[in-house]
Amino acid sequence: MSFFIASSPHHHMRRNTADLMRLVLLAMVPGVLAQWYFFGWGVILQIALAISVALAAEALCLLARNREASSGLRDYTAVVTAALLAISIPPLAPWWVIVIGTLFSIVIVKHLFGGVGHNIFNPAMAGYVLLLISFPAQMTSWLPPVTIAHELPGFWDSVRLLLFGFTGDGYSLEQIRHVDTGAMLDAVVMATPLDHIKTELAQGFTLSEAKGAVIFQGVAGSGWQWVNLAYLAGGLYLLKQRVISWHIPGALLGTLAVFALLGAVFAPDQLPNVDIHLFSGATMLAAFFIATDPVSAATSTRGKLIYAALIGLLIYVIRTWGGYPDAVAFAVLLANLCVPVIDQYTKPTAYGHHEERS
């Protein structure tokens, strides 16, 4: 007669890491398609290049650590990291930018800290910050959305721009990023809406004047609000599938909205309002796909609320008074640093155990 040993009858997640990562990739599809529509083939090319480099780096690191490469590659964690980094950078940034960022994310941030489950920082955001600090010109070379440019580089021109810096007709990326608005070349379209607002406000213009630019078609910038809505749809799918809980996206978006509302009340023509903060930049991507990283985020329910609220606050502070318009990556990494302390003071007490706190 055999004696069967099983775990306690608690609720368990029946999905493994690979299943969860596949659902995350599936949820990212609407946002990626929106970015592809508004910013062209460079988005898809960057994702393909980043995933290829990430898988190669993952395999080499696993072999160097005497681990089985095939099992490590099948968990899709490297693919998710690569995809998040690729959609965060300008679509036609030079090929070596995404290669450097991906290698740093996988080799340094992930494997030098011990691999899956041991990294204290979000790998994609760490790679993004490295690129932004090291190569600011390449990392701010966003194309104007198709609603302004009316025509984006085709597939082969995008490949040539990515690899060589010129289209088949000899146009450089800088030339393509300029759009003739009728009277003059308007450099505003070369920046993201958040970057444009920060630049205009620093030069003494009001928020109303800054929002009068051609890039502000729609609620929060031409194309950008639709990209954020697409990632919101993907995030809601993750919530429905119970891949993530509501605590982190809810606390992050709620905190950001509250501070944006307060800023709009006390300085209505000097600080961006709620819709710009929520539907421009990488806000929805951060709330549902980046801050919810189960490894680098807080673990307890209260801890998740505090962690996400801290990210929302830091995003608002950096966007308003800092030097980086989007601020998502810096906010997430700073909150990652605080996770051990947050977990220490929010971990639930075991049943029947009374812990005295000094």
Angle at 272 between CA 247 and CA 226, to 5 degrees: 65
pLDDT number for residue 15: 72
pLDDT tens-digit series, residues 272-301: 889 999 999 899 999 999 999 999 999 999
Please say whether the beta carbons of 288 and 238 come within 8 A.
yes
Cα dist from 60 to 72, 107, 304, whole Å: 11, 9, 34
- With a cut of 90, say whether residue 132 has pLDDT above it: yes
pLDDT bucket at 2, cuts 50 / 70 / 90: low
pLDDT of residue 206: 82
Quote the CA–CA distance of 73 and 287 in Å, as a whole number.
Answer: 26
* Residue type for position 119: N
H helices within 68-142, ranges in order?
Answer: 69-73, 77-88, 95-103, 123-134, 136-139
Instruction: State the average pLDDT over residues 21-49.
Output: 96
Under DSSP, is residue 335 helix (H, G, I), strand (E, B) or coil?
Answer: helix
- What mean pLDDT do residues 48-62 have? 95
Q: How confident is the model at residue 243 (pLDDT cuts 50, 70, 90)?
A: very high
pTM: 0.89
